[in-house]
Chains A and B, each alone.
Chain A
Amino acid sequence: MVMQLTHMTMRSLRRCLVVLALSLISLPGYANEAVPVAEDPVLEKRLVNLAENLRCLVCQNESLAASRADFANDMRREIREQMRMNKSDEEIVAFLVERYGDFILFNPPLKSTTWLLWFGPFTLFFVGGTVLILYLRRRRAQINEKELPLTESQRLQAESLIKDMDKDQSI
């Protein structure tokens, strides 16, 4: 009876080991399965390069390349199809902008409505810098005007004060 039990446990143990070994063998198999997403790696690379600079309108801070949203999926499919039809990147971007507006671009184009966006920060920086420099110059001039040389007696007085302070500190 006992023999039989140990025999059975041995058998089930061995079975477990076999299963474990098999699962280990299949692990690299799993890893391989996810790799061939696209049939055409060159096209896929071009797609990612393009889609990285396009905004997913559903999850707005993600790019069309990174987003897992359904919308991004559709867009990637559309871009892929257009690439297969030998359309240039510029043509595809123009197609998307025509439908979704400049908002789909992470790099806003330079045009009259975006002048403030492009040049605003620089203008602000230079205006602020000029104001700061003018202010500092004026203040320095004011200090220089006020700064008068000490008379001999004032100087002696100041020195004795400093000496007193040093004494106080040493105690």
Chain B
Amino acid sequence: MTRFLLPLAVFVVLVIFLGVGLTLNPRQVPSPLIDKPAPAFHLPQLFDTSKTLSSKENLGKVWMLNVWASWCVACRDEHPVLVELSKLGIVPIYGLNYKDQRDTAMQWLKQFGNPYEISIVDADGKVGIDYGVYGVPETYVIDKQGIIRYKHIGPVTIESLKNKILPLIKELKG
């Protein structure tokens, strides 16, 4: 009996390992920044470049940082979700306009709606590197102490909001 059971057990274990490997998404690289302080920035605002926003100004509130660009196709997919979320008024969304042209970016927001409290301009992607951005759109949830609590890679969907982001925000605010 063991003559057959042992190879079968080995086979089953192998299948489980390979199955898990196949269902993992290699694009979802876990960020080492989770539970670390959000990298500081001090950047000009998109609509009024004479004004700036620095990360310190958001201390004391739970907020979302959404990395977006007008050239990013997947951003278009997630944009209606963000617009709806901003209407709920649960959490302020700040936009990091990543490596974009200023006028096309403003045009884009006029066309599709502007869910952002403030969008800041990261023209050369320097702040993007600090945040470990490698595939736009990316979204960070940052708590009152300025700690990154969650990173969502790729478009934010209604499911990801319901299952992960909104419960987390509720917990962080509470």
**Residues on A with beta carbons closer than 8 Å to the beta carbon of B126:** 78
Mark each residue of chain B from 13 to 41: 1 if its CB lies under 8 Å from any CB of chain A, else 0.
00000000000001101111100000000
A92 to B107, CA, bound (A): 38
Which of A58, A60, A99, A102 interacts with B129 by CB under 8 Å? A99
Within 72-118 of A, Cβ neighbours of B (below 8 Å) are at: 74-75, 78, 97-103
Q: Are B32 and A57 in contact (CB under 8 A)?
A: no
Q: How far is the CB of B145 from chain A (nearest CB, A)?
A: 19
Give the A interface residue count (CB, 8 A). 15
Mark each residue of chain B from 101 to 131: 1 if its CB lies under 8 Å from any CB of chain A, else 0.
0000000000000000000000001101111
Q: Are B125 and A74 in contact (CB under 8 A)?
A: yes
Residue B135 lies at the interface, judged by CB distance under 8 Å to chain A: yes
Residue A71 lies at the interface, judged by CB distance under 8 Å to chain B: yes
Residue B134 lies at the interface, judged by CB distance under 8 Å to chain A: yes
Nearest neighbor of A69 in chain B, beta-carbon distance: B134
Residue B132 lies at the interface, judged by CB distance under 8 Å to chain A: yes
Q: How far is the CB of A28 from chain B (nearest CB, A)?
A: 36
**Residues on A with beta carbons closer than 8 Å to the beta carbon of B29:** 57, 100-101, 103
**Residues on A with beta carbons closer than 8 Å to the beta carbon of B130:** 99
Q: Are B32 and A97 in contact (CB under 8 A)?
A: yes
Main secondary structure of the interface of A (DSSP, over half): helix
Q: Are A58 and B134 in contact (CB under 8 A)?
A: yes
Q: Are B30 and A99 in contact (CB under 8 A)?
A: no
Q: Are B30 and A101 in contact (CB under 8 A)?
A: yes
**Residues on A with beta carbons closer than 8 Å to the beta carbon of B99:** 70
A38 to B107, CA, bound (A): 36
**Residues on A with beta carbons closer than 8 Å to the beta carbon of B32:** 97-102
Mark each residue of chain A from 56 to 69: 1 if its CB lies under 8 Å from any CB of chain B, else 0.
01101000000000
Mark each residue of chain A from 125 to 158: 1 if its CB lies under 8 Å from any CB of chain B, else 0.
0000000000000000000000000000000000
A155 to B40, CA, bound (A): 92
**Residues on A with beta carbons closer than 8 Å to the beta carbon of B134:** 57-58, 71, 100
A78 to B129, CA, bound (A): 9
Q: How far is the CB of B69 from chain A (nearest CB, A)?
A: 11
Residues A74 and B129 in contact in the complex (CB < 8 Å), given A57-B134, A99-B32, A101-B32: yes
Q: A interface vs B, CB < 8 Å? A: 57-58, 60, 70-71, 74-75, 78, 97-103
